[in-house]
Structure 1
Amino acid sequence: MTCIKEHIIKTSLDLFLTLGFKSVTMDEIATKLGMSKKTLYNHFKNKNQLVDVSSVELCNHVCNGVDEIVDAKNENAIEELYTVKKFVMQQLKSDDASPIYQLQKYYPETHKKITDMQYTHMENCIKKNVNRGIEEGYYRDNIDADFIARMYFIGMQGIKNLNIFPASKYPVNELYDKYLDYHIRGIVTPQGRKILNKITNSNHD
Structure 2
Amino acid sequence: MKEAIQEKAMEMYMKLGFRGVTLDDIAQEMSISKKTIYQHFSNRNELIEAVAKHMLQEIKDEIDNLCQGQFNPVEELFAIRSYLRKTLEGKYQLPIFQLQKFYPEISQKIKQDQFCKMHDSVMDNLKRGIDMGLYRPELDLEFITRIYFAGVTGTKDPNIFPEDKFNIHTLHTQYLEYHLRAIGTEKGLVLLHQHLQETDENS
Distance 1:172 1:44 in 2: 37
User: In 2, are the aligned partners of 1:138 and 1:189 still within 8 Å (CA)?
Assistant: yes
User: In 2, are the aligned partners of 1:123 and 1:153 still within 8 Å (CA)?
Assistant: yes
Closer/same/farther in 2, CA of residues 85 and 18 from structure 1, 3 Å limit: farther
Listed one character per residue, the Cα deviations across residues 49-103 of structure 1 (whole Å, up to 9, x for unaligned) are 2210001111122223322322x21211011112222333344344885543321
1:40-189 paired onto structure 2 within 5 Å: 40-41=37-38, 43-70=40-67, 72-94=68-90, 99-167=95-163, 170=166, 172-189=168-185
Residue 22 (str. 1) matches residue 19 (str. 2):
yes
The size of the alignment, in residue pairs, is 200
Unaligned 5+ segments in structure 2 are none
Listed one character per residue, the Cα deviations across residues 120-172 of structure 1 (whole Å, up to 9, x for unaligned) are 22111111101111111111222111111000111122122232234565455
User: In 2, are the aligned partners of 1:16 and 1:99 still within 8 Å (CA)?
Assistant: yes
If the length of structure 2 is used for normalisation, what is the TM-score?
0.80
Distance 2:178 2:130 in 1: 18
| Matching residue's letter, 2:142 | D
Partner of 1:199: 195
Residue 9 (str. 1) matches residue 6 (str. 2):
yes
The answer to which of 123-132 and 188-197 deviates more is 188-197
- The SS at the match of 2:60 is helix
Q: CA RMSD in A?
A: 2.9
Closer/same/farther in 2, CA of residues 119 and 24 from structure 1, 3 Å limit: same
Distance 2:2 2:17 in 1: 20
Closer/same/farther in 2, CA of residues 178 and 82 from structure 1, 3 Å limit: same
User: In 2, are the aligned partners of 1:11 and 1:29 still within 8 Å (CA)?
Assistant: yes
Distance 1:95 1:166 in 2: 23
User: In 2, are the aligned partners of 1:127 and 1:145 still within 8 Å (CA)?
Assistant: yes
Closer/same/farther in 2, CA of residues 114 and 151 from structure 1, 3 Å limit: same
Closer/same/farther in 2, CA of residues 99 and 58 from structure 1, 3 Å limit: closer
| Matching residue's letter, 1:110 | I
| Matching residue's letter, 1:116 | Q
- The SS at the match of 1:191 is helix
Distance 1:91 1:130 in 2: 24
Unaligned 5+ segments in structure 1 are none
